[in-house]
Amino acid sequence: MTAWESWQSAWVGASGPLPDIGTRAHIEARRHRRARVTVWVLLAGACLAAVPAFGAPEEVVHLIGWGIFGFCAAMGIGFVLTHRDVRLAGADGPRQALDFLEQRLVAERRVAHLTRWVFLTACVLGAIATHVLYEEHGSGLPVRVMTLGCFVFGFALTFSAPWWFERTARRRQSELEVWRRWMDEQAL
């Protein structure tokens, strides 16, 4: 009998609905692993896409390439630091599963804030670099407006990340609090 099955047998005498914390924790652990792989694939792809910038004759294009590398490094290091304590260590019981779910939620909140500030920096530096590039090449107003629009859109989307993430996190946090109260009431 696994540790989880022994916990479930202990819940048989408890009153109220049995929370399915173990299943949720294992689903979130799979999502967590998938997110880690996805982040590293996207960062590696962005770094590879930046390599051709170093073949351009303009020095400012080289700066844009270095900016992309810096962005990828900041996001990668930030992601590692925000997720370093998030592990589902076997989930021997409901408390460990609940702790994992809470750690994951905290890490996601941190990533939302990391995204806000790294993208803000990238948008500001990118806007300055492209402005210098456009000045060198004499690009027309429509091109400048479209580029600025892309930077503003990216900035608005990422700067608001903590706000729109918090909307979904509230529901998940309240569910975790209900489960914790239920376990406290049942003395599990």
Structure confidence by residue, pLDDT tens digits, 104-162: 888 888 888 888 888 888 888 888 888 888 888 887 888 888 888 888 888 888 888 88
Answer yes or no: is 154 within a domain.
Answer: yes
Answer yes or no: is 2 within a domain.
Answer: no
Task: Using a pLDDT cut of 90, give the percent of the chain over it.
Answer: 16
Answer yes or no: is 171 within a domain.
Answer: yes
Q: Does pTM top 0.75 for this prediction? A: no
Among all chains, which residue has been given the structure tokens 């408890």? 14
Answer yes or no: is 8 within a domain.
Answer: no
Rounded to an integer, what distance in angstroms lies between the CA atom of residue 136 and that of residue 47? 25
Rounded to an integer, what distance in angstroms lies between the CA atom of residue 154 and that of residue 142? 18
Given pLDDT bands bounded at 50, 70 and 90, which one contains residue 186? confident
Tell me the Cα Rg of the chain.
23
Residue span of the structural domain in which 141 resides:
19-186
Rounded to an integer, what distance in angstroms lies between the CA atom of residue 41 and that of residue 113? 21
Residues 179 and 21 sit within 8 Å (Cβ to Cβ): yes
Answer yes or no: is 4 within a domain.
Answer: no
Amino acid at 162: P
Rounded to an integer, what distance in angstroms lies between the CA atom of residue 138 and that of residue 122? 23
Residue 56 sits at φ, ψ, to 5 deg, of -75, 150
Answer yes or no: is 66 within a domain.
Answer: yes
Rounded to an integer, what distance in angstroms lies between the CA atom of residue 158 and that of residue 96? 32
Domains held by the chain: number: 1
